[in-house]
Structure 1
Amino acid sequence: MAVDPKTTCYDGSCSQSFQFYLQHSGEHEAIFKCLHDLLPGEFRRIGLNRSSLDVLGVGSGGGEVDAHILTVLQSTFPSVPITTDVVEGSADLTDSFKALVAKSPNLQKIPFTWHLMTSENYEKQVKAKGDIKKFDFIQMVQMIYYVDDLAGTMAFYHSLLKTSGRLMIMVEAAGSGWDVLWKTYRKELAVGAITEYRSSAEVIECLKSQGLKYEEHAVPNAFDITECFDPSSETGQRLLDFMTAKDSFWRSFTPEVIAEILDLLRNKCSTEKDGRVLFNSDLRCILVHA
């Protein structure tokens, strides 16, 4: 039986590669800072006069970002009951999320409903059941690259918002290093779980075409890729593997393409400071109004 790559792209060795990237990129720290600055005010407005609050995480991974969001929500409304639904296609990452809940007393107070499936399959399930649960807050953090139908996905999750709810989308910024790399080498890179790379530009274009109101917030980030230019560096190789979605960067391309990608990474995707090469990993946080 063929395995759906969108379901398993973050299981096994790919899950380990993702965790390695998170340890070296500072991405979660940048996201947490944005959420700390942004969410308390948003939650006070969303939760005004609510007797309960319902949250949906789509592509929640290991749950680190969801846990942060839920902690902020609990601190904003300590006496209001919260429920959480989680949609995640990776069994490994879902297990990690459950383990995080098990060791977090505040999260244990929240009833979780787990949907081990892709976003597309969740949409099909919801539409088939017809009994549609609505949410006060929906988060889609770094997952919009993995859906086939961007416009349909945006319309579906927007339809799940309660009045005055918010859909939060975190995505790589237009013009970031990721955007430059993946659009320049689309043919070589977009052949696995990601078949169409999208940045904040594509998301915003989609929201505008649907007439949806949104706010955009910058999430600045950069990480050190100096070791990527040393073929003997294990750290460099593991970062390159994740950045290009390959099992082995150095064996996946011709010498000419390798040279071109490394040149692009150094000169078009990064800046140099004190002899270090810092990859532009800026994100955007897009808050879509109900």
Structure 2
Amino acid sequence: MAAEAKQTCYEGSSVQSFRFFLEHSGEHQAILQRVHDILPGEFKRIGAGKSSLDFLGVGSGGGELDVQMLTLLQSIFPAVPITADTVEGSSQLTDNFKALVAKTTNLQKIPFCWHIMKCEDYEKQVKAKGDMKKFDFIHMIQMIYYVDNLSTTIKFYHSLLKNNGRLMIINEAANGGWDILWKTYKKELCVDAITEYRSSGEILACLKSQGLKYEEHVIPNTFDITECFNPSSQTGQRLLNFMTATDNFYQSFTPEIRAGILDLLRNKCSTEKDGRVLFNSNLSCILVYA
């Protein structure tokens, strides 16, 4: 989970922690596999008959997923001009995104607009200007945890969709490992960047309450957390730090809380296979219609 230490965007040590997690979790690969199943058909529907296409990434991070999605969009509509906007609070991750774009030849002709700010600040800026750029496709991947008000954020970004557009929200699945961990230990974990943990369950309830039409696709994923149960393992400690959004798992909690978290991770959040402990990291891809 995109957990950040005492801030609302990745900077400094939390960037390294986030990258370490991505290397070990296979999360981006799982998302990309599903996105490549779902998006070609969606993009064809979204772009049918349009003379230009506008793409917005909200919480785009280092841009690894955006680059793939933009390349896909471009391959489906090679002759249609595309613009790309990104809203991302981390300057370090935005620099990473810019470097990726510079290395990706096919993206050179796409004009990018970089908004280095929280998604709520982008909303305030847009409303203050009164100049609301509309988009054909908007994605919010693993960032809903950090917004102050779920309902108003979804309402605002949905309002930016053009005719036949799609808002794609990817988040941790209801009743998955993250959902169980963060809701069981809400008091201990929801103290810094994340003050209210939300899974796909809360997002779907919000969409229903706003009367929005959507479809949901499961993104299956697990990753190996066996090392988390070896106190002398550096890999295990780094994973535990990320999973609990702390700088130091072993110093941040009492022995009782640590033992409880480890027991929960092993017995409620994971399955065991061939002596390895596999954390249930399923995600949910929700496509919201304009």
Q: TM-score, normalised by structure 1?
A: 0.97
Amino acid of the residue matched to residue 37 of structure 2?
D
Is residue 239 of structure 1 aligned with residue 245 of structure 2?
Answer: no
Amino acid of the residue matched to residue 188 of structure 1?
E
Is residue 39 of structure 1 aligned with residue 39 of structure 2?
Answer: yes
Amino acid of the residue matched to residue 108 of structure 2?
Q
Amino acid of the residue matched to residue 193 of structure 1?
A
> Shift of the alpha carbon at 1:98?
0.6
Q: Distance in 2 between matches of 1:78 and 1:241?
A: 43
Q: Distance in 2 between matches of 1:75 and 1:263?
A: 47
2:62 maps to which residue?
A: 62
2:207 maps to which residue?
A: 207
Is residue 131 of structure 1 aligned with residue 131 of structure 2?
Answer: yes
Secondary structure of 1:151's counterpart equals helix
Secondary structure of 2:279's counterpart equals strand
Map of 1:1-290 to 2, 5 A cutoff? Answer: 6-7=7-8, 9-290=9-290
> Shift of the alpha carbon at 1:106?
1.3
Q: Distance in 2 between matches of 1:216 and 1:54?
A: 23
Instruction: Assess if the C-alpha contact under 8 Å between 1:6 and 1:146 holds in 2.
Output: no
> Shift of the alpha carbon at 1:107?
1.6
The Cα offsets for residues 25-81 of structure 1, whole Å up to 9 and x where unpaired, read as 000000000110000000000000000000000000000111111011011111111
Amino acid of the residue matched to residue 59 of structure 1?
G
Q: Which runs of 5+ in 1 are unaligned?
A: none
Amino acid of the residue matched to residue 26 of structure 2?
G
Q: Distance in 2 between matches of 1:274 and 1:13?
A: 34
Q: Distance in 1 between matches of 2:6 and 2:70?
A: 29
Amino acid of the residue matched to residue 185 of structure 1?
Y
Amino acid of the residue matched to residue 148 of structure 1?
D
> Shift of the alpha carbon at 1:6?
4.4
The Cα offsets for residues 99-130 of structure 1, whole Å up to 9 and x where unpaired, read as 11111111222110000000000000000000
The Cα offsets for residues 200-237 of structure 1, whole Å up to 9 and x where unpaired, read as 00000000000000000000000000000001000000
Q: Distance in 2 between matches of 1:272 and 1:19?
A: 25
Secondary structure of 1:106's counterpart equals helix
Q: Distance in 2 between matches of 1:178 and 1:105?
A: 37
Q: Distance in 2 between matches of 1:51 and 1:140?
A: 25
Instruction: Assess if the C-alpha contact under 8 Å between 1:171 and 1:200 holds in 2.
Output: yes
Q: CA RMSD in A?
A: 0.9
Q: Distance in 1 between matches of 2:64 and 2:170?
A: 14
The Cα offsets for residues 165-198 of structure 1, whole Å up to 9 and x where unpaired, read as 0000000000000000000000100111111000
Amino acid of the residue matched to residue 200 of structure 1?
S
Secondary structure of 1:50's counterpart equals coil
Instruction: Assess if the C-alpha contact under 8 Å between 1:222 and 1:282 holds in 2.
Output: yes
Instruction: Assess if the C-alpha contact under 8 Å between 1:84 and 1:111 holds in 2.
Output: yes
Instruction: Assess if the C-alpha contact under 8 Å between 1:6 and 1:89 holds in 2.
Output: no
Instruction: Assess if the C-alpha contact under 8 Å between 1:87 and 1:115 holds in 2.
Output: yes
Q: Distance in 1 between matches of 2:110 and 2:236?
A: 40
Q: Which runs of 5+ in 2 are unaligned?
A: none
> Shift of the alpha carbon at 1:5?
5.0
Corresponding residue pairs, total: 286
Secondary structure of 2:171's counterpart equals strand
**Percent identity over the alignment?**
73
